Structure formats: C-alpha cells, structure tokens
Amino acid sequence: MKFAVLVFPGSNCDIDCYNAVEDTVAQPVDYVWHTATDLSAYDCIIVPGGFSYGDYLRSGAIARFAPVMSEVRKAAEAGKYVLGICNGFQILTEAGLLPGALMRNTNMKFRCHSSLLEVVNNRTPFTNQYEAGEVIDIPIAHGEGNYYCDDTTLRRLQDNDQIVFRYAEGSNPNGSVADIAGIRNEQGNVVGMMPHPERAVSSVLGSADGARMFASILNAWREQHGAAVNS
Amino acid sequence: MKATVYVTIKQNVLDPQGTAVQGALHSMGFGEVEGVRIGKVLEVELATTDRAEAETRLKDMCEKLLANTVVEDYRFELEG
C-alpha cells in the first residue's frame, strides 16, 4: 500500500505525517508537492496540517485551487482513502469534498493541547481498529477548528453516520457544532479531522492512540484488496 | 473599473471576533453597542469598462474564492 503526504507552501505537519506512516505501518510513503498532476500511484492521500499559502483570505481557501487538488478529487471519486488533518480538514471543506466549514474558535484562542475524542463511528477505513465509543487521546493545535454546518447538513451527518469523532463530553475546545472533531463523506473514504493523530503515535509523545488510525487504513486497504500481510 | 467587495459572516453564524470586540467596547463604556459583526472589504481593480461583464465576473470570483458561501455572504459595489 502506498501513501502520499501532500506538501503545500506553508504545510508544517507533513514530516510528522510521513514519519507516522513509516513508524506505524511501515508502508511506502512519498511527499507530493502541491503542483503534482498525477496521484494515480497512491492508495491513501494525507492532506497535512499547517498554514497552506499562509491561510490568506480563509484557511484552505487558496490551497483548494492548487493543481494537486483536482487529483485529490479524482482519487476521492475513485474510492481511494483521503485523510485531511487540521489544515487538511479545512482544505477538504473548502474544496467541497466534505460538508461544512471551520470557523474561528469561539473562545478566540489558539488551542494547543491534548484532547479526548470519542470514536463515534468505527466502521470507516480510518477507525476500524478502535472500539465504538472508545475515548482516545489525540492532541489538537488550531485557532480555526470550530466546525460549523447548518441544521439540515447536521441532520444528514447524523443520519448517515458521518460523524467520526466528537470531543469527549464537556471538553469541546472550540465551539464546534455537536462537539464534532472529525467527519467523513457519504461514501466513507474521505475523512477530515482537527486533531492530529500523527502527533500521537508513541507513548514518548504523550499518547500512542493515533497509531491505530494508520493501522486502520492499512487494514482496510488489505481487506479491500485481499492482500497478503507483507504487501 | 474598481469594485469594492464586502464579505460578511451569515447572520445565523456566530462571529467570535465580533463578540470579542463587542465585549471590549462594553468594557470601555460604550454600553449602547448591541452587536458587532466583523467582515472583510476587498478592493478589486478590474481591467474592463463593461459593467455587466464586471458584475458577472465578480459574482464568479465571490462564489469561487472570495467568500465561502457555507458561512459567508457577499455583496459588491462598482465604480468608474
């Protein structure tokens, strides 16, 4: 299985994502520059955190027009796995690959600390190694992670089981609607989340709970492809 | 031709910056302030004299990039 970690000018979690893939699932992984026009070689595309294009105008607003994003759209339509983390989540919502928008945190603070998440949906390619309802420890680091969508969209997210992660009860750090920390698209192959699983892949980092996200992706891919364990 | 584009947060969406500024104004003694909403103003120079064309193009710019219509409204004025 082959992973791509996209790199935009201003990405700053790309190296963490790359290392997390190597350290957790030991699969081939490439950095892919935002000007790339072919992602056909990759099975999973990670859109990392950071401040793409300085986040000018709005977070993710300019990155969504990078050449590589039309390839991300193609990959998503083809059913490949796409994971947007933090700024990556903002980019995916701006691109319309996920519904809603990420607004300024209601407390106006940049929140950078560990956070407890409830795994709401463990039947996704990204969460199959967690128990449903399990509470995991994954750090956040954002000033604009306040997920917003209108009531109709929220109902649709709930009805289709599209809410993947919620901030644990009473710990919503940013004012997100329904405590949402991460969602998936209707098809289930695109997930966006504000917390950083790539920063929680070893107890040395304070938590290893994020490692199972990467393990989930590999597991899903192997099941989908009937692949041998070492491929 | 010059366009002034106003991008504002939709009325039903919370504007944390506006709320913070309102709080600051209250603490300074401007108790009559009942609400503050913060938006963006963009001054866009256009190399055209065709007003209708400018409007069509600006609408396209707003829909595609300048505003995120999930959470923002926009309007613009044209001069010249």
Inter-chain touch A101–B68, beta carbons under 8 Å? yes
Tell me: the pLDDT tens digits for A3-58? 999 999 999 999 999 999 999 999 999 999 999 999 999 999 999 999 999 999 99
Q: What is the CATH number of domain A3-225?
A: 3.40.50.880
> At B51, which amino acid appears?
R
- Tokens linked to B63: 């829909």
- pLDDT for res A54: 93
Number of domains in chain B: 1
Q: Could you tell me the CATH number of the domain that includes residue B23?
A: 3.30.1280.10
Mutation for A interface: B41, B69, B71, most A CBs within 10 A: B71
Count CB-CB contacts under 10 A for residue B25.
Answer: 14
Tell me: the pLDDT tens digits for A53-89? 999 999 999 999 999 999 999 999 999 999 999 999 9
CB nearest to B14's CB, from A65, A106, A149: A106
ipTM for this model = 0.87
Tell me: the pLDDT tens digits for A86-110? 999 999 999 999 999 999 999 999 9
Q: Distance from first CA to last CA of chain B, Å, rounded? A: 5
Confidence of residue B80 (pLDDT cuts 50, 70, 90): confident
In the residue annotation, A144 being an active-site residue is answered as no
Looking at per-residue confidence, does A147 or A228 come out higher?
Answer: A147
Which residues, 6+ apart, have CB-to-CB distance to A38 below 8 Å? Answer: A71
Domain that holds residue B53: 2-79
